[in-house]
């Protein structure tokens, strides 16, 4: 795990994307998934990225980025909505585990984004705690509409960008890490049909959005 400890944000991002390229091509290597790796990470973990994604069952991080045990510190909620527990978990990955990369991962056909869009259209919101998820996604949908972005993919991209900005606004740990060049926060949109993760936002890293 020594090589992981020395990764820069750019190195970590390329490592993550390389795994996604293998997954898209149908040529995964399934690294770090054997008994030897299990034994190696038993004393402690040194993941190279925090992955904050949607809870959708089709968005299994270690699979779509072709990684294994001890590689990713994964936090998932419906619609990747961020409350205090999420922020604390992400900060733990950065401040305690020294992850140089935080990724916000959204995906097309997201139920939470669709529900927020529908609630704005018909004025009816779901009951229970699902309502809380929808209400947290709603500002992203409103921002997208205000900018003239109404296509589902455009609304999704806006929600991912909004989440990236929200993390940096609310977390001094992340903001200071980005300012110091120790951490990058990147927003990706995952396409269910072909498995590709495209960049839609990047803070602390020179990356061209897709």
Binding residues for Zn(2+): 54, 56, 107, 110
DSSP state of 134: H
Spatial distance between the Cα atoms of 104 and 185, rounded to a whole number of angstroms: 8
Burial environment of residue 45 by CB neighbours within 10 A (0 to 12, 13 to 18, 19 or more): middle
Q: Chain-centre distance of CA 64, in angstroms?
A: 12
Residues whose CB is less than 8 angstroms from the CB of residue 178 and which lie 6 or more positions away in sequence, other chains included = 168, 184, 185, 203, 204
β-strands 197-203, 184-190 pairing: antiparallel
Spatial distance between the Cα atoms of 169 and 49, rounded to a whole number of angstroms: 20
Strand partners, 53: 76, 105
Strand partners, 107: 190
């Amino acid at each position: 795990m020594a090589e992981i400890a020395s990764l820069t944000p750019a190195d970590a991002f390329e490592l993550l994307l390389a795994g996604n390229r293998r997954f898209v091509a149908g040529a995964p290597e399934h690294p770090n998934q054997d008994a030897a790796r299990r034994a190696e990470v038993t004393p402690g973990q040194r993941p190279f990225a925090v992955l904050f994604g949607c809870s959708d069952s089709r968005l299994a991080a270690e699979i779509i980025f072709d990684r294994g045990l001890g590689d990713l510190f994964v936090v998932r909620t419906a619609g990747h909505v961020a409350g205090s527990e999420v922020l604390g978990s992400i900060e733990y990955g950065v401040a305690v585990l020294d992850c140089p990369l935080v990724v916000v991962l959204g995906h097309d056909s997201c139920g939470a984004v669709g529900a927020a869009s529908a609630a704005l259209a018909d004025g009816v919101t779901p009951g229970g705690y699902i309502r809380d998820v929808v209400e947290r996604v709603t500002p992203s949908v409103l921002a997208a509409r205000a900018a003239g972005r109404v296509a589902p993919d455009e609304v999704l991209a806006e929600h991912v960008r909004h989440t990236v900005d929200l993390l940096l606004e609310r977390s001094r740990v992340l903001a200071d890490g980005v300012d110091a060049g120790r951490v990058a926060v990147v927003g990706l949109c995952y396409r269910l049909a072909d498995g590709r993760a495209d960049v839609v936002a990047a803070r602390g890293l020179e990356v061209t959005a897709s």
